[in-house]
Structure 1
Amino acid sequence: MDMRRSTPCSRCRQRFMAKSVTKGADVECPSCKPNYLPIPADEQYSSSQQQHYGLRSRMRCFYSQVRGKVHQSTVTPSLNPDPSAFNSMKRSSKRAVLCGITYNNWKQYRLKGTINDVRNMRDLLINNFGYPGHFIRVLTEEEADPRFIPTRKNIEDSLSWLVSDSRQGDSLVFFYSGHGLRQPDFNNDEDDGFDETICPVDFQEAGMIVDNDLNTLIVRPLTPGVTLHAIVDACHSGTILDLPKVYMSEEKNWVNSIPPSGAEKRTSGGLAISISACLDHQAAADTSAFTAGKMNGALTYILAEILKKLPGPTYGDLFDLINETLNNVNQSSCLANTRFLRRLFNSNFSQTPLLSSSAEFDVYKKHLFL
């Protein structure tokens, strides 16, 4: 008679068949200690349970094997090429900086979809818009090279690299997925009295990067024939580049956003376009509504899917599709953190992406090509 019985692994909690298990004793499964026979997944759980528990158990087994045997850089391959390639290769007319910040040391404010956002945007730029991988800088906390950790200095250095030596015909992209905040404006540059900010991983020590800084870093240097697209998936990101023209989707018209102080916020002849996740006073959602069990920034996911399926849409069509999709998801109550956000915004949570630019254009005639 087979005396084996089902028991959970004391290390990874995967259930398996073990012989002569003493009640209360710690035992390990085959992946952690190869002495036992695992139970097939379809015998352990129902189909709905398998999806939730089976994957988690297998992942725990995997990490128990690699723990102490490999470094993080081996487990998570870098999204950057050999750093020396940035200096050794010829320049490219297509360059990008992609920044995704998880805030791993902040459990309460940790974001789960930012790395997925970066991967999504990198794949989109390479596969759909022909960006060379060697000219896409990626800054995340998963990078082993300290130069690619999204600190304030590294972000600013990468943005300087992005616009340096720009020439006519260049197409540049700055993508950011992370926390965004607001702070009082002391320069009389904002109609609402607040500067918009992005939060580097070390912002508590080094400070936030405010919209004035971003304008100086990547808007003012743009020379004639150079186009910059900034895609910012963060709370309070509406006018994050301080661009002088803002397109109002509902009214279908451009409005001036010139600083009350009269400070110059234009380019040096190039074109800067910003696609922001929400208005300055709104929050942006991290959601699993589109891919079960996988978090993404709502704007990033929708934008990427549209551009993959509908290459080169007009800006007007793009924003109509984004807003329609967000409204449908919002009505279905699928957005992550919806309960909290609905309380915060008096049960009227909404996320309205915003288009701003250094110059007006016909949004239903001009096509988006990154």
Structure 2
Amino acid sequence: MMDTRSQCYRCGQRFSVPPNTATIMCPSCKFETKTQSFERLKSQDGGQISFRSFIETARTKLSRSGTGSSKSNKSLNCKPSTLLFSESLSGLRPCRKRALLIGVTYKNSKQKLKGTIIDVKGFRGLLMDTFTFPEEDIRVLTEEEPEPDFVPTKKNIQNSFKWLVEDCMAGDSLVFYFSGHGVRQFDFDSDESDGFDESICPVDFVEAGTITDDEIKSAIVRPLKKGVTLNAIVDACHSGTVLDLPYVYNRKAKKWEISKRLSEDEKHTDRGLAISIAACEDRQVAADTSSCIGKSSINGGAMTSVLIQIVKKNPTITYGKLLDSIHEDIEKANKEGCLPGILKRMLNNFLSQKPQLSASKEFNVNSRFLILQ
């Protein structure tokens, strides 16, 4: 039998399809879809499918679930598109939306967190339902993932950073989300005004070490090409400048301030825009909903929970309005609070989290929420 022609449901690309092929991946946009020729073949044959096609379909379903066992955790990663989408066949393609979402529970340690996977699932839903991010372009790292490559180890996070930014082009919208532990450690490079590096903790941080702000910046900020936008949302303690971006927005003065001396590298104007929304300032810790938002039944990060609720109600909210709304909701929760009054007054500057907005370049905070691009 000769090959037939089919068309991608997503980008419209036409391509050849081998006989009796149930699904095929578009060579242009990497979208996996049922072939039109196969649908016609089914109708002609009265719904009878060849044994070979049946095996191919079953194999695809098993690979998506990561295992044939119904007892295993269902993966939040859509395969094989998520893994193979990085293959660039052409320099010409539509603008792309791509996201890396990481939630770490540290479930086998004393530092265990309850709600980070809830955070990731909620943020993934926000991207897909509100901002039309394709499921296959969202990579999720959690300890619940059945495949070892999607567990949030230091090595896997570093590899996923490369996946997030590789082959980025003008018009692309990238998202980095992290929910987990954040720490401060002494700055030995003398490039921090406060003398500390901010870091995120992978699940194996005790053995492999943390990932510092310098590393994160090098991995996902410096590679951004002009016209690319990266939005980072980090719900962790000490996360204010965890992307090491030079400009911090002063909410009260309503202006940008330079948080550090600009390096020669940061003076380049031919790069994309990186924007970070952090759960708190560098010296502060971040709360979860169980400790801060009344009698919440959802044990997620306070900043993530509030942000999702706000953006769902108003998807075109500006950065300035979003930051103000998050502050207002968290301050209200802090007043209802979980700490005894005298202790709260003594430690307020360190424990009362104030979400922080930073960027690689100054921009108008009254512009639209740029995940929409």
- 3-state SS in 2 of match to 1:74: coil
CA contact (8 A) 1:147 1:154 kept: yes
For the Cα contact (< 8 Å) 2:294–2:336, is it kept in 1? no
The counterpart of 1:272, out of the listed 274, 294, 313, is 274
Deviation string, structure 1 residues 198-249 (Cα, Å, up to 9, x no partner)? 0000111111100000000000000111000010000000001111111011
Contact 2:114–2:300 (CA<8 Å) still a contact in 1? Answer: yes
Question: Does the 8 Å contact 2:98/2:173 carry over to 1?
Answer: yes
Q: How does 1:22-41 map to 2 (within 5 A)?
A: none
SS in 1 for 2:347: coil
SS of the residue 1:296 aligns to: coil
CA apart distance, 1:82: 2.1
Q: CA RMSD in A?
A: 2.5
Deviation of residue 172 (structure 1)? 0.1
Q: Give per-residue Cα distances to partners, 1:64-104, cap 9 Å, x unaligned.
A: xxxxxx99973531111124653168877000000000000
- Pairwise CA distance, 1:343: 6.2
Match of 1:214 in 2: 216
- Give how far 1:340 is off: 12
The amino acid of 1:367's aligned partner reads: R
* CA gap 1:152/1:345 in 2 versus in 1, 3 angstroms: farther
Distance in 2 between residues matched to 1:136 and 1:341, nearest whole Å: 45
Tell me which residue corresponds to 2:98: 95
Report the residue type matching 1:264 in the other structure. D
Deviation of 1:363 after TM superposition, in Å, equals 1.3
Q: What is the deviation of 1:321?
A: 0.5
The answer to whether the Cα contact below 8 Å between 1:188 and 1:259 also exists between their aligned partners in 2 is no
Aligned with residue 197 of structure 2, among 167, 172, 195: 195
Distance 1:141 1:196 in 2: 23
Please tell me whether residue 331 in structure 1 is matched to residue 335 in structure 2: yes
1:79: which partner in 2?
76
The answer on 1:153 being equivalent to 2:155 is yes
2:318 is the counterpart of 1:317:
no
**Aligned in 2, Cα 1:324/1:347: closer, same or farther, shift over 3 Å?**
closer
Look up the equivalent residue of 1:271 and give its one-letter code: L
Answer yes or no: is the 8 Å Cα contact 1:212–1:242 preserved in 2: yes
How far apart, CA to CA, are the structure 1 residues paired with 2:346 and 2:141?
Answer: 32
Partner of 1:239: 241
From 167, 176, 179, the equivalent of 2:178 is 176
Instruction: Give the partner amino acid of 2:180.
Output: G
**TM-score if structure 1 supplies the norm length?**
0.74
Distance 1:71 1:204, change over 3 A: farther
Alignment gaps of 5+ in structure 1: 1-69
CA distance in 2, matches of 1:320, 1:85: 35
Identity %: 50
Instruction: Tell me: CA distance 1:110–1:177, structure 2 relative to 1, closer, same or farther (3 Å).
Output: same
Distance in structure 1 (CA, Å) of the matches to 2:352 and 2:196 = 20
What SS class does the counterpart of residue 313 from structure 1 fall into?
A: coil
Counterpart check, 1:368 vs 2:369: yes
Residue ranges of structure 2 left out of the alignment (5+ in a row)? 1-66, 89-94
Aligned length: 295
State the alpha-carbon separation in 2 of the partners of residues 340 and 72 from structure 1.
51
TM-score with structure 2 setting the length:
0.74
2:107 to 104, 127, 130: 104
Gap change, CA 1:73 and 1:292, over 3 Å in 2: farther
